[in-house]
Amino acid sequence: MDVDNYIKNNSLKIIVKPNSRKNELVSYDEERQALRVNIKAEPEKGKANLEVVKFFNKLTKKQTRIITGLTSKEKLIKFF
């Protein structure tokens, strides 16, 4: 799955499922217009958020920041 197809205006809406077996892109949710992502880290003390940033940094080779949704499963991330 090519994540670049879903990036609009250097941002991407994602739905995170923490405590998964591995970090991976799962599918695109047409209803929510968001990419579903599994993350290994647990959702405590920002561990899952940090893992999301690292995952997308490595995947896209761009700097990544979470703009909204720090305490939610739905997040908006921006690429620099």
* Residue 54: band (very low, low, confident or very high) from pLDDT cuts 50, 70, 90: very high
What is the reported pLDDT for 68? Answer: 98
pLDDT single digits (tens) 5-51: 999 999 999 999 999 999 999 999 999 999 999 999 999 999 999 99
Mean pLDDT value across residues 74-80: 97
The answer on pLDDT for 1 being more than 90 is no
Put the strands of the sheet holding 24-29 in their side by side order: 24-29, 34-38, 11-17, 74-79, 64-68
The answer on pLDDT for 76 being more than 90 is yes
Alpha carbons 21 and 16: distance in angstroms, whole number: 13
Is 3.20.20.10 the CATH number for 3-79? no
Domain ranges of the chain: 3-79
